[in-house]
């Protein structure tokens, strides 16, 4: 029941009820990526994605990014793409969380000014 309530009133938890109905009536399933995101296309060419988990557009892999933005009409296979040793897997945006990056402050740094709050 709580899931249905979330789908009716919120957009940040997967898909809304309107998106679910639009997908059911007008969407044609195109494929699924390794993250579990599902991709759909309508008859008039509109494309959209239903995210698996939290809605985060950075979770779309390269082969699907080009398809959803009409860069290429062909869906590239993940096996066909060459992966380099320096490429890393996706990491979500951690801004505002405890795991966010904070540069270390150097306390011995000589300042060119004096703070008025000292």
More confident residue, 72 or 39: 39
Domain limits of the chain? 29-81
Are the CB atoms for 35 and 52 separated by under 8 Å? yes
CA distances from 56 to 5, 11, 82, 98, 116 (A): 21, 12, 25, 19, 42
What is the torsion angle, in degrees rounded to the nearest 10, for the CA atoms of residue 76, residue 50, residue 21 and residue 71? Answer: -40
- Is the predicted pLDDT of residue 89 greater than 70, yes or no? yes
Q: What is the pLDDT of residues 53-68, one digit of tens each?
A: 778 888 888 788 888 8
Return the DSSP state at 52.
S
Are the CB atoms for 5 and 15 separated by under 8 Å? no
């Amino acid at each position: 029941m709580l899931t249905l309530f979330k789908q009716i009133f919120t957009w940040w938890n997967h898909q809304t009820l309107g998106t679910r109905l639009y997908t059911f009536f007008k969407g044609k399933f195109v494929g699924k990526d390794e993250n579990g995101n599902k991709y759909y296309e309508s008859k008039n060419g509109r494309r959209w994605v239903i995210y698996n988990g939290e809605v985060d557009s950075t979770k779309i892999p390269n082969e699907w990014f080009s398809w959803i933005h009409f860069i290429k009409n062909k869906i590239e296979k993940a096996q066909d793409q060459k992966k380099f040793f320096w490429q890393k897997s996706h990491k979500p945006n951690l801004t505002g969380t405890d795991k966010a990056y904070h540069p270390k402050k150097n306390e011995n740094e000589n300042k060119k000014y004096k703070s008025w709050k000292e």
